[in-house]
Amino acid sequence: MTDLLARDAHALHLALEQAGDEVEVSVSRQTAEWLAQLIDAKAQGHEVVLSRGATEVTPAEAAQLLGMSRPQVRKLMNQGQLAFRKVGTHHRVTVASIDAFLETERRHMEIGMTALSSLQNDLGLLE
C-alpha cells in the first residue's frame, strides 16, 4: 500500500507542476476512492483533518472536531464514550475514539431515520 500511495503522490505532484487550471492524472482505484471521500466531506461542509496513527487531541480540539462544547466532550469522557489519558493534569482524547463515537452516532441516526420513515408510512403521512 505504501508503494502505491508513493507512486500516486508522485504522479499528483508531477501533474500539479504543469500550468493551467485543470489537472489530469492517473491514480490507483484506492487513492481515487480516498480522494473522493475527502472531496465529498469538504463539499458537504465538513472539516477535513489529517493526522498520524494514534493521534491525541485536547478536549477543546475534540469539541471542535465533534461540533460540540468542551463540557459536553468532558461528559462523554466521564461516561466512557471517548477514550482519553491524562498527561500530568491535562487530558488527551484519542482521535480513534472520536472516529468510533462518530460512527456509532451515525449508525444510531440511520436506525432512527429508518424508524421515522416507517412511522410516516404507517401513518400515511407520505404519498
| Domains annotated on the chain, with CATH | 1-47 (no CATH), 49-127 (1.10.1660)
pLDDT band at 50 (very low <50, low <70, confident <90, very high): confident
Q: What pLDDT digit, counting tens, does each position of 72-102 carry?
A: 999 999 999 999 999 999 999 999 899 999 9
- The whole-model pTM stands at 0.60
Q: What pLDDT digit, counting tens, does each position of 53-62 carry?
A: 668 999 999 9
41 within 8 A of 28, measured Cβ to Cβ: no
Share of the chain above pLDDT 90, in %: 72
Rounded Cα distance between 49 and 38, Å, is 10
Grid cell 500500500 — which residue? 1
CA distances from 25 to 13, 18, 34, 62 (A): 10, 11, 15, 35
Amino acid at 55: T
Provide the 3-class DSSP secondary structure of residue 34: helix
User: Whose CA is closest to 93, among 68, 69, 74?
Assistant: 74
Q: What is the pLDDT of residue 70?
A: 96
Rounded Cα distance between 83 and 24, Å, is 42
